[in-house]
Amino acid sequence: MGYLDNLIINTDNYKHCHYPLYPPGTEYVSSYIESRGGAFPVTMFVGLQAFIREYLMRPITLEDIDEAEFVVREQGMHFNRDNWLGILNDYDGFLPVEIEAVPEGTVLPTRNVLVQLINTDPKYFWVTSFFETALLRAVWYPTTIGTVSWLSKQVIREALARTSDHPELLRFMLHDYGARGVSSQQSAALGGLAHLVNFDQSDTVPGILAAKHFYNAGKVSNSGPNSEHAGFCAWGRDNEAAAMRNMLDTFAPEGCALLLTDTYDHENAVKNIIGKELKEQIQNFPGLVGVRPDSGDPVQVTADTTEWLMDAFGYEVNSKGFKVLPPFVRVVQGDGVTFSSLREIFMEMERRGFSAENAVFGMGGGLLQHFNRDTLNFGQKASAVCVNGEWRDIAKAPTGAAFKASKKGRLALKYENGTYVTVPKGSIPESENVLKPVFRNGKLLKKWDFTELIANSEREVPESFYLDVVGPMRSLPAPVAVSA
């Protein structure tokens, strides 16, 4: 979609009429981006580098200016050609702006500054706010998805800690199936790479490619042979077992086969086809057989399927008193899994005495699409201006929406006592400021590697960052001891 790459029109039309609305003598405008609170108490910041590399390191051309003038004037909106010719001639088409940001992958409480930007040339004071539309969109979406994924990871971590002897399974427990459930391939790329900061599982190819292209990622995900209804239906209802047997035979060399079980009758498929007719072949399969229901109540169907498989294949009891399927078979639940239902699934598994490791999960639209800018109330606001050499702190304080009150002044981010707090710039030594310059006048000042994002996301944080999410799991009664 190259016709959308022109930064001058990658904005709201009305942005073109804003530059003369500042006070005479305005030289600098400083603005910032934050989550103003919302559904979650924290954010996992990610995605800015992708935007910078895709848009801000591509210079504006004379052809871009011509196109923008035609489009903007056609809409009846004011357009100042001299502003853009100045950027073209003075800065070779690169925006004269400096951007500071939190290290990507960092998890921190909401209502803290994540990004701060300021123009570097008084002649172009208006540029700071001009590309707000594109910049805010580039930050809020991957950060929101990354946050959902990170909090889901804390739910899984809690479930494993309570019921499993294998915490090392954590990064393999949640698969991204969201490519078909999002609004665009670009969303799949940005949301998909955000998820990969937390987990090593994905079928969302745009996300894998984005992690490699923008963050120098190596091998970031795993997948395996899966089935779909088209292939199984083609065999006919009377040959459902043959369809499954064919898949087991075909992918035995791969060591993985995920069998759909709801093509017709899920319970029959699990109990009679998998648990009886194909039982010996599954027991001797050289790897993992996944049993994948794709309909029904995800809470009940995950636990029921686990129970039926234990009836057929047996189980062991781990050191925490929970039942575990043999290592060659697991439930793969990828339908109806959302941030909310994931916790309920684990709670139901625990109530029945099943270890969390009996199932692995996939999220689709529930991971990449069920959220919007208001989920975490993202906003970009100007907080300081310099007029005729004098700095002024500015902020909005609407009476009708207190959460929209903005911060004032140039900002810094301080890390102390295991958490973060936004403070006035200059109140702490710059060496202690968590915000780091990442872009200036067309140059990338810091290039984050994907391994750094992962390391930042896995840094130890206070329990308060996720306690509201895992709290209901801790209200469950202690497990009743069972024997193998």
Say which residues have a Cβ less than 8 Å from residue 303's Cβ, sequence separation at least 6: 345, 348, 349, 352, 354
Q: How much is the average pLDDT of 175-181?
A: 94
Examine the pLDDT at 2 and tell me if it is beyond 80.
no
| pLDDT digits 0-9 by tens, 73-117 | 999 999 999 999 999 999 999 999 999 999 999 999 999 999 999
Residue 477's pLDDT is what? 82
* Paired tokens of 396: 């909005």
Examine the pLDDT at 310 and tell me if it is beyond 80.
yes
Q: How much is the average pLDDT of 405-422?
A: 95
Specify whether the CB–CB gap between 202 and 361 falls below 8 A: no
Residue 260's pLDDT is what? 95
Local confidence band at 419 (pLDDT 50, 70, 90 cut-offs):
very high
Torsion of CA 354, 356, 358, 361, to 10 degrees: 140
CA–CA separation, 49 and 139 (whole Å): 10
CA–CA separation, 363 and 368 (whole Å): 8
Local confidence band at 479 (pLDDT 50, 70, 90 cut-offs):
low
Q: How much is the average pLDDT of 122-130?
A: 97
Let me know the angle formed at the C-alpha of 31 by 28 and 35, rounded to the nearest 5 degrees: 175
Residue 455 vs residues 213, 375, 450: alpha-carbon distances, Å: 19, 25, 9
CA–CA separation, 51 and 134 (whole Å): 9
Q: Considering the chain, what percentage of its residues have pLDDT values greater than 70?
A: 98
CA–CA separation, 43 and 33 (whole Å): 12
Q: Considering the chain, what percentage of its residues have pLDDT values greater than 90?
A: 93
Residue 404's pLDDT is what? 86
Question: For the stretch 49-60, what's the b/e string if a residue is b when 16 or more beta carbons lie within 10 angstroms of its beta carbon?
Answer: bbbbbbbbeeeb
CA–CA separation, 46 and 105 (whole Å): 6
Q: At what angle do helices 205-215 and 450-457 cross, to 10 degrees?
A: 110
Local confidence band at 402 (pLDDT 50, 70, 90 cut-offs):
confident
Residue 194's pLDDT is what? 98
Helix (H, G, I), strand (E, B) or coil at 331: strand
- How many CB atoms are closer than 10 A to CB 70? 11
Q: How much is the average pLDDT of 340-348?
A: 96
Q: Find tokens 């004098």 and name the residue.
A: 390
CA–CA separation, 342 and 345 (whole Å): 5
Residue 293's pLDDT is what? 94
Examine the pLDDT at 384 and tell me if it is beyond 90.
yes
CA–CA separation, 348 and 352 (whole Å): 6
| pLDDT digits 0-9 by tens, 349-380 | 999 999 999 999 999 999 999 999 999 999 99
| pLDDT digits 0-9 by tens, 251-280 | 999 999 999 999 999 999 999 999 999 999
Mean pLDDT of the chain: 95
Residue 397's pLDDT is what? 86
Local confidence band at 1 (pLDDT 50, 70, 90 cut-offs):
low
Q: Which of 98, 195, 89, 179 is nearest to 141 (CA)?
A: 195
pTM attached to this predicted model: 0.95
Domain boundaries, the chain: 2-143+375-469
Examine the pLDDT at 437 and tell me if it is beyond 80.
yes
Specify whether the CB–CB gap between 97 and 127 falls below 8 A: yes
* Paired tokens of 293: 């229901």
Residue 142's pLDDT is what? 98
How far is residue 224 CA from its own chain's centroid? 22
CATH class assigned to 2-143+375-469? alpha beta
- How many CB atoms are closer than 10 A to CB 206? 22
Helix (H, G, I), strand (E, B) or coil at 339: helix
Q: Which of 30, 33, 32, 46 is nearest to 103 (CA)?
A: 46
How far is residue 85 CA from its own chain's centroid? 37
Q: How much is the average pLDDT of 426-440?
A: 97
The top-scoring range by mean pLDDT among 74-78, 142-146, 219-223 is 142-146
Phi and psi of 180, rounded to 5°? -85, -10
Q: How much is the average pLDDT of 385-389?
A: 98
